[in-house]
Structure 1
């Protein structure tokens, strides 16, 4: 559920005029920019960018880049991008640190549909003249590589129907692949965790717990290690409980001294129009404070105002 508040009537030409006024003179009227672009859907934002070029002969993205600064600039520029281009850019940035920034990379792949992943791969190839798969193959090894490549293939079922028999079969296969033997059958873990729909995988995990008296997470922690273990656990949580997963990411980005602004911006910008309301509910339930309160305490100025606007706090 989106947290973006959009007015009932949007006039693209008037928005362009207002934005142009905000850019005039010494300094930018950032609050006016936020009041307009922070309350428009992606379709509307892209239409505004097209109309702005038609009216003023200037690329709105470049104008924003010249007018804004710091974390606020980063967040706004991502917000103004087409979703596929944005996801591709974020994947490229996180892929540079595969092994160190797995959560960002995995979080994007696990929360996108197969058709979205296909579009990301096509955009990646157009940008770099090589496949995303080839990058992964060059940076990773072993079962960890197999898992990432399985996610990038985009084989996860998009069916909304639940197959109870398949859930029971998968649960027994996972048991035979881990708890019932010495050493894990990693290929079984990879296949089930990357190919089943969220509802299907959640049902399998519930059946596994009821049948065998322990959860799959315990087995993964016992039978696997390193990046592969972390990736399996991340895939499982992000697929089955995305709101919980992103709530934890947001909290981790702001807890303690300093703020991980890259993660904070990535999650807020990419989830604001999809499931941010659910993320906020999970956040409050887990941490006993609102997301808005934590953002207010860890950010400042126009950057704070923009983030709060996107999460429905302004």
Structure 2
């Protein structure tokens, strides 16, 4: 489901490294050359380019990019060049420090990565920050948020399709009882959402819908302004239909007065190699405008060119 266009004939990592080095030399930086290389290489290729660059020039490609580029374009390129697990570790760490919407980013990483990928993110987090992701999440959150987020980031779910229908029925009933009692932070709700496989959760929520006549997120909307309930609904969306969750993040990022570049950059760089095609279809369906046109009218310059290349629509 990736949207990144990798050319049929990819130059050698040594050639790519040499071209990038050239892009940094002379008068001004050649941003178009940087985009034409990096936006069209997959994660494995980008990793080898970084290693080759370090071996050949004795410099860290990330540091050189940091020196040469600026603003939103720089952030996009740097996030993109990072290994996916390193990128998630960096975003999660940054999220524990930011005061706004940080819980959402931690939840998003915990719920939309595979069990193995999340495990690798936690390893990358150790290596880079000399602390564990869960200790930072626990330290920077409190109350109901902590109760939900710590088990989410430490989860190692079964990834297969096996589903226990008897369990789905009984757990749908538990969820319905707790929600009817407005016990939204009940440990049973948290246990089910943080330990069951995504297939099992889907089966449980389908049964919930059929048995009780409402989708669970509708029943969790009793107080639309409650921040914990918003996070709980987003958690369920991320676990069951991530493309709908990411479509909404993009819609809010683009349709606000002034763009939320942080959110736009994060979704494009983290989903370009995963499910960007589905997100684009969902965006078009929901907004009657293709995502590339929305990005085109909302951003400009090298930043715009890089984003469009990553969602598979750039001329770069």
Aligned residue runs from structure 1 range 146-157, under 5 A: 146-157=147-158
* Equivalent residue number for residue 213 of structure 1: 213
Deviation at 1:22, TM superposition (A): 2.0
Higher alpha-carbon deviation: 300-309 or 51-60: 51-60
Q: Which residue of 1 aligns with 2:50?
A: 49
The match for 1:233 is 233
Count of aligned pairs between the two proteins: 313
1:170 alignment counterpart: 171
Residues 262-281 of structure 1 mapped to structure 2, 5 A cutoff: 262-281=262-281
* Counterpart in the other structure of 1:14: 15
* Cα 1:95–1:184 shift into 2, 3 Å: closer
- Which stretch of structure 1 is more off in the superposition, 94-103 or 7-16? 94-103
Q: State the shift of 1:251 in Å.
A: 1.2
Distance 1:61 1:240 in 2: 35
Q: 2:190 — aligned with what?
A: 190
The alpha-carbon deviation at position 100 of structure 1 amounts to: 3.6
Please report how far the alpha carbon of residue 287 of structure 1 lies from its aligned counterpart in structure 2 after TM superposition. 0.7
Instruction: Report if the CA contact (8 A) 1:144-1:227 is conserved.
Output: no
Contact preservation (8 Å) 1:12, 1:48: yes
Alignment of 1:128 with 2:129, yes or no, is yes
Deviations 1:234-276 (A, max 9, x none): 1100110101110110111111321111111111000000000
Counterpart Cα distance in 1 of 2:141 and 2:220: 20
CA spacing shift, 1:269–1:165, aligned 2, 3 Å? same
Helix, strand or coil for the counterpart of 2:90?
Answer: helix
Q: What residue is the counterpart of 1:160 in the other structure?
A: 161
SS at match of 1:273: coil
How far apart in 2 are the matches of 1:155 and 1:169? Answer: 22
RMSD: 2.0
Closer/same/farther in 2, CA of residues 54 and 185 from structure 1, 3 Å limit: closer
Instruction: Return the alpha-carbon distance in structure 2 between the equivalents of residues 30 and 225 of structure 1.
Output: 43
Structure 2: 5+ residue runs without aligned partners? Answer: none
> Aligned in 2, Cα 1:184/1:260: closer, same or farther, shift over 3 Å?
closer
